[in-house]
Amino acid sequence: ETGEIAICRQAIMALEKLASQACSEEVIEALAHVQAATDDPTLRSQAESAIQRLEERFHGTRAVVKTPVPEGDDMLVDLSTIEPAPTIIDARTLRPGDVLADRYKMIRQVGKGGFGVVVLVEDRIVQDEIILKFLGPKFALDRGMIERFKHELRLARKITHQNVIRIYDLISFGHSFAISMEYFDSHSLATELRGGLPIETRRGLRILRDIASGLAVAHRAGIIHRDLKPGNILINDQLEVKLVDFGLAAAASQPAGRLTRSGSLIGTPAYMSPEQIRDHPLDPRSDVYSLGIVMYEIFTGRPPYRNADTMAVLFQHVEGKATPPREVNPKLSPTLEAMILRAIAVDPAQRYQSAAELELAIQALPELAQG
């Protein structure tokens, strides 16, 4: 079996696992492309089997959504077979002024993500604005998943750092659940990168330094982010920077019935580490890799690995043949280019060994002090 075939087999398994939290149609389409394009019969059979399992799994999920829960029997319901739709809050229908649990007054919807709808509310007891991130039905109806969220968020709320969004609690509204967290009036780094242009060097380094600082504190507490990307990096007009969603990826990646499992595959393909893709055990160097990918994008205007085919992106991460950053942006210094390439090394042993080490390297760059 050639190296490429072996990597493709790993990528097919990774895609199938990723589909549990990602867009199933996109993954099935990618697998169908592999099935049609490959000349290897084992790859073709593996892709076909994966497609069948995904279609059965997601068809089954859709089929049970319409079943209501009998009133008064909700605690006896088998959540694996029916969904109590009438008791679930559809956060998309909330309007300004709506009040939840006689406490949280809806102000506005501020976003939608892989976990559900995100709303800004006024907590009328503490008289402060906070964020409620509602968990979608596929999370809220899984009792094991909720227990894992409780476990991971219990760890994540211990992170107290100026560059990390504080998590407060997991709140129950009947069969609906929302994560309450600090409100930070800001925009995401993804918004700044949307135009495909590099960010000014000193600004980019300040953002990266602050994120590395927040990551270092989390890593010392034994917490890995697992889904570090521009969309999870928030910036305000004063260039204050905060990282959001610690604990969420870890909670969603755990298998039913277990609270911990290293290396479970979940994340955003463009920013995932090779060991994450291969479903290997993770340590802080996985987050260092993801931050290195963000660093590459900040200073070139694009991520190093891009392709309409998710499978191809995963393969590129494992292969590790990124275009040198200075070929994309000749204005970069050789030192900064070397730092980026070290952070995104395929072999974790070749990277910065911690976010703290990367933070120190950024601090030492003369470009950070300029301007």
Catalytic residues, which ones? 227
What is the secondary structure of 153-170 as a DSSP string?
HHHHTT---TTBPPEEEE
Tokens representing residue 205 in the block: 């380094």
Q: How far apart are CA 10 and CA 171, in angstroms?
A: 38
Structural contact between residues 122 and 128, judged by C-beta atoms closer than 8 angstroms: yes
In this structure, are residues 283 and 225 in contact, taking their beta carbons and an 8 Å threshold? no
8 Å CB contact between 134 and 114: no
**Within 13 Å and on the Cβ side, how many CA atoms surround 104?**
23
Residue type, 65: V
Short-list 287, 252, 302, CA closest to 357: 287
| DSSP label of 172 | E
> Rounded distance, CA 108 to CA 77, Å?
33
Q: Residue 24 and residue 22: Cα distance in Å, rounded? A: 6
Burial label for 47, CB within 10 Å (0-12, 13-18, 19+), is buried
Helix (H) or strand (E) holding 130: strand 128-134
Q: Using alpha carbons only, give the angle 5, 9, 13 rounded to the nearest 5 degrees.
A: 165
